[in-house]
Amino acid sequence: MEKICRGTKGGWKKYQGNPVLGGDYGTCFDISMLREDGKYRMYFSWRKKGCIATAVSDDGIHWSEPRICIGPRKTEEGWEDEVNRPVVVKRGNTYHMWYTGQYKPGQADGNSYLFYAVSKDGEEFTRVRNTPVMRPDCYWEKAAVMCPHVIWDGGQKMYRMWYSGGDQYEPAAIGYARSRDGISWEKYGGNPVFMADKSAAWEQHKAAGCQVIPFKDGYLMFYIGYRNEDYAQIGMAWSANGITEWKRSLDNPIIAPDEDGFDAEACYKPFALLVEGKWMLWYNGRNGSLEQIGLAVHDGEEL
């Protein structure tokens, strides 16, 4: 019997063979994607190993055996008891990774910080420094800064980062920062730049975990909207400058749980690529305590 996926709007369709990564690997979540030399490279959070791993695919569906590219590190401060939630940017011949280090593994307590590492081959990463490049030091960030998404802006000659802050279990809002070297970050004075829309039931609780990309003379955001602490869906928004006056899509939420699917209880952390005239969006879906990676596709560039 053909599998029916109902949890999409706005022309998005879930891949019927979802999930594309998980299974014997256990919980896999919060990814970053690169497309190079005709192949897809995924960086993902691997809970069973407490690390960030990478896998390669020809089609974005069938993946190679994962390789650990950066693992946890024991320190007196406990900054990196577990590492996860990466973003990777390739500039020239260097891969730049910003990622989340957590004190006390798990999401219920502790603190989260952002760290920075680099690689020449995209597989083995070396820390640039052993201390955080960003800490939760603003009122709205509470105990955690996590889920960085970074782009290099050649015009401004700056790295631009959108990150999530708030509670350790699930962050509450999205902030913005910029840096010339990837190490010293200047946070935007008007943070947070994106918060939950209390008037929209599907995201009335929190909004976080975003990807932001240049699109249509502005910036397109894919983000997680939380109806409550445990039920999450995926939406889109657009801004002319990537900081203020975000306009949400009328199709929101574009990706929602399927009651009989691997994502029956939540759809988290989107990452989309525009490939040969169509969008491919990977996300982690949750059913019970297990999170796995799924794929949704949108034919055509117009959203």
pLDDT, tens only, 240-298: 999 999 999 999 999 999 999 999 999 999 999 999 999 999 999 999 999 999 999 99
Q: Band of the pLDDT at 77, cuts 50, 70, 90?
A: confident
Q: Residue 224: which pLDDT band, with cuts at 50, 70 and 90? A: very high
Q: Is residue 78 part of a domain?
A: yes
Report residue 107's pLDDT band, with 50, 70 and 90 as the boundaries. low
Burial 223-249 (b: 16+ CB within 10 A, else e): bbbbbeeebbbbbbbbbeebbeebebb
DSSP letter for each residue of 221-284 = EEEEEESSSS-EEEEEEEESSSSS--EE-TT--SB---TTSTTSSEEEEEEEEEETTEEEEEEE
Is residue 6 assigned to a domain?
Answer: no
Distance CA 228, CA 190 (A): 25
Domain membership flag for residue 187? yes
Say if 4 falls within a structural domain.
Answer: no
Asked whether the bond before 253 is cis by omega within 30 degrees of 0, the reply is yes
Beta bridge partners of 181: none
Q: Would you give the DSSP letter of residue 201?
A: G
- The Cα 104–Cα 109 span in angstroms is 7
Q: What percent of the chain has a predicted confidence (pLDDT) above 90?
A: 91
Residues listed for the chain: 303
The mean per-residue pLDDT over the stretch 176-202 comes to: 98
pLDDT at 1: 38
Angle (CA) 15-21-22 rounded to 5° is 125
The mean pLDDT value of the chain amounts to: 95
**Above 90 in pLDDT, residue 106?**
no
Backbone angles phi, psi at 154, to 5 degrees: -65, -30
DSSP 8-class letter at 220: E
CATH number at residue 103: 2.115.10.20
Is 133 part of a structural domain of the chain? yes
In-domain check, residue 5: no
| Domain count across the chain | 1
Provide mean pLDDT across the span 98-104. Answer: 90
pLDDT at 2 over 50: no
Q: Which two tokens stand for residue 266?
A: 């939540």
2 found inside a domain: no
DSSP SS3 for 79: coil
Domain housing 170:
12-299
